[in-house]
Chains A and B, each alone.
Chain A
Amino acid sequence: MLRGVDLALARGESLALLGESGSGKSTLLHLIGGLDDADGGEIVLDGVHLTGQSDGDRSELRRERVGIVFQQFNLVPSLTVAGNLAFQARIAGRFDAAWQKELVGRLGLEGLERRYPEQLSGGQQQRVAIGRALAVKPRLLLADEPTGNLDEATGDDVLGLALDLVAATGCGFLMATHSTRLAQRLDRQVTLAKGVLVVP
Chain B
Amino acid sequence: MNLATLVIGLAVATALWSGVAALNAQARASYDKAAAVLGEAGAASFVAAGSSFIPQTSYVALRRAGLPVSPVLEGTLRIGGVSYRVVGIEPLTSPKSSAGGHLATSADLEAFLKQPGRTLVAPETLAELGVAPGAQPATEQGRTLPPLAAADAVAPGLLVVDIGAAQTLLGRDGQLSRLILAAGAGTETRALPSDLRETLRIEKADETGDLARLTDSFHLNLTAFGFLAFIVGLFIVHASIGLAFEQRLTSVRTLRATGVSLKTLIAAHMCEAVMFALVTGVLGVIGGYLIAAALLPDVAASLQGLYGAHVGGHLAIDARWWLSGLGMALAGALAAYGAGLLKIARMPVLAIAKPLAWREAQALHLKRQGIAAVVALTIALAAYVGGTGLEAGFAVIAGVLLGSALLLPLVLAGVLRLGERGASSALSQWFWADTRQQLSGLSLALMALLLALAANVGVGTMVEGFRKTFTAWLDERLNSEIYFDAAGVPEAREIEAWLGQRPDVSAVLPVWKAETRIAGWPVDVFGTRDHATYRDHFTLLAQSDGAWDAMRDGRGALVSEQLARRMSLGIGDAIELPTARDTWRVPIVGLYPDYGNPKGQVRVNVDALVAHWPDARRTSYSLRVVPGRAGDLIRDMQAALGGKLARVVDQAALKTMSKQIFERTFAVTGALNTLTLLVSGVALFASLLTLSGVRLAQVAPVWALGVTRRRLGDLEVGKVVLLAAVTAVLAVPLGLALAWCLVAIVNVQAFGWRLPFHVFPSQWALIFALAVLTAFVAAIIPVVRLARTAPQDLLKVFANER
Determine whether A60 belongs to the interface, using a CB cutoff of 8 Å to chain B.
yes
Within 8 A of B (CB), among A80-127: 83, 86-88, 90-92, 95, 116, 118-119
Instruction: Looking at the assembled complex, report how far the CB atom of A55 sits from the nearest CB atom of chain B, in whole angstroms.
Output: 6
- Chain B interface residue count, Cβ-Cβ cutoff 8 angstroms: 34
B800 engages A63 (CB within 8 Å): no
Bound state CA distance, A177 and B436, in angstroms? 36
Determine whether B115 belongs to the interface, using a CB cutoff of 8 Å to chain A.
no
Q: In the complex, which residues of chain B have a beta carbon less than 8 angstroms from the beta carbon of A119?
A: 357
A59 engages B708 (CB within 8 Å): yes
B357 engages A83 (CB within 8 Å): no
A70 engages B798 (CB within 8 Å): yes
Q: Which of A8-16, A30-38, A189-197 contacts B (4 or more CB under 8 A)?
A: A30-38
B702 engages A59 (CB within 8 Å): no
Determine whether A156 belongs to the interface, using a CB cutoff of 8 Å to chain B.
no
B705 engages A88 (CB within 8 Å): yes
Bound state CA distance, A72 and B697, in angstroms? 11
Bound state CA distance, A144 and B795, in angstroms? 12
Cβ contact of A26, chosen from B427, B708, B799, cutoff 8 A: B799
Q: In the complex, which residues of chain B have a beta carbon less than 8 angstroms from the beta carbon of A90?
A: 425-426
B797 engages A21 (CB within 8 Å): no
Determine whether A68 belongs to the interface, using a CB cutoff of 8 Å to chain B.
yes
A36 engages B706 (CB within 8 Å): no
B800 engages A71 (CB within 8 Å): yes
Determine whether A75 belongs to the interface, using a CB cutoff of 8 Å to chain B.
yes
Instruction: Looking at the assembled complex, report how far the CB atom of A193 sits from the nearest CB atom of chain B, in whole angstroms.
Output: 17
B426 engages A68 (CB within 8 Å): no
Given A36-B795, A60-B706: A21 and B801 interface contact (C-beta under 8 Å)? yes
Q: In the complex, which residues of chain A have a beta carbon less than 8 angstroms from the beta carbon of B706?
A: 59-64, 88, 91-92
Interface centre among A78, A86, A88, A145 (most CB of B within 10 A): A78
Instruction: Looking at the assembled complex, report how far the CB atom of A122 sits from the nearest CB atom of chain B, in whole angstroms.
Output: 14
Cβ contact of A74, chosen from B425, B709, B710, B798, cutoff 8 A: B798
B791 engages A83 (CB within 8 Å): no
Q: In the complex, which residues of chain B have a beta carbon less than 8 angstroms from the beta carbon of A70?
A: 701, 704, 798
* Closest chain B residue to A55, Cβ basis: B708
A87 engages B426 (CB within 8 Å): yes
* Closest chain A residue to B700, Cβ basis: A74
* Closest chain A residue to B357, Cβ basis: A118
A35 engages B433 (CB within 8 Å): no
Cβ contact of A145, chosen from B426, B708, B800, cutoff 8 A: B800
A63 engages B705 (CB within 8 Å): yes
Cβ contact of B707, chosen from A36, A78, A91, cutoff 8 A: A91
* Closest chain A residue to B432, Cβ basis: A78
B359 engages A74 (CB within 8 Å): no
Bound state CA distance, A70 and B801, in angstroms? 12
B800 engages A30 (CB within 8 Å): no
B800 engages A37 (CB within 8 Å): no
Cβ contact of B791, chosen from A36, A63, A86, A145, cutoff 8 A: A36
Bound state CA distance, A166 and B801, in angstroms? 27
Given A62-B706, A78-B434: A91 and B800 interface contact (C-beta under 8 Å)? no
Determine whether B429 belongs to the interface, using a CB cutoff of 8 Å to chain A.
yes
Determine whether A148 belongs to the interface, using a CB cutoff of 8 Å to chain B.
yes
Determine whether B194 belongs to the interface, using a CB cutoff of 8 Å to chain A.
no
A144 engages B800 (CB within 8 Å): yes
Determine whether B792 belongs to the interface, using a CB cutoff of 8 Å to chain A.
yes
Instruction: Looking at the assembled complex, report how far the CB atom of B699 sits from the nearest CB atom of chain A, in whole angstroms.
Output: 9
Q: In the complex, which residues of chain B have a beta carbon less than 8 angstroms from the beta carbon of A118?
A: 357-359
Bound state CA distance, A83 and B437, in angstroms? 15
Q: In the complex, which residues of chain B have a beta carbon less than 8 angstroms from the beta carbon of A92?
A: 706
A78 engages B430 (CB within 8 Å): yes
A77 engages B430 (CB within 8 Å): no
Instruction: Looking at the assembled complex, report how far the CB atom of B712 sits from the nearest CB atom of chain A, in whole angstroms.
Output: 10
B437 engages A78 (CB within 8 Å): yes
Bound state CA distance, A55 and B707, in angstroms? 10
Instruction: Looking at the assembled complex, report how far the CB atom of A133 sits from the nearest CB atom of chain B, in whole angstroms.
Output: 9
A144 engages B798 (CB within 8 Å): yes
Instruction: Looking at the assembled complex, report how far the CB atom of B665 sits from the nearest CB atom of chain A, in whole angstroms.
Output: 49
Q: In the complex, which residues of chain B have a beta carbon less than 8 angstroms from the beta carbon of A145?
A: 800
Within 8 A of B (CB), among A28-71: 30, 33, 35-37, 55-56, 59-64, 68, 70-71
Cβ contact of B704, chosen from A22, A35, A61, A86, cutoff 8 A: A35
Determine whether A163 belongs to the interface, using a CB cutoff of 8 Å to chain B.
no
Determine whether B698 belongs to the interface, using a CB cutoff of 8 Å to chain A.
yes
Instruction: Looking at the assembled complex, report how far the CB atom of A26 sits from the nearest CB atom of chain B, in whole angstroms.
Output: 6
A59 engages B791 (CB within 8 Å): no
Q: List 20 A-B contacts (CB under 8 A).
A: A26-B795, A26-B799, A26-B800, A33-B704, A35-B704, A37-B791, A59-B708, A60-B706, A62-B704, A63-B705, A71-B800, A72-B797, A76-B701, A77-B358, A86-B426, A87-B430, A91-B705, A116-B359, A119-B357, A145-B800
B→A interface (CB under 8 Å): 357-359, 425-427, 429-430, 433-434, 436-437, 698, 700-710, 791-792, 794-795, 797-802
Contacts A91-B426, A116-B359 known; list 16 others, CB within 8 Å.
Answer: A22-B801, A35-B791, A55-B791, A60-B706, A62-B705, A63-B707, A72-B798, A76-B434, A76-B701, A76-B702, A79-B429, A87-B426, A87-B705, A88-B706, A91-B705, A118-B359
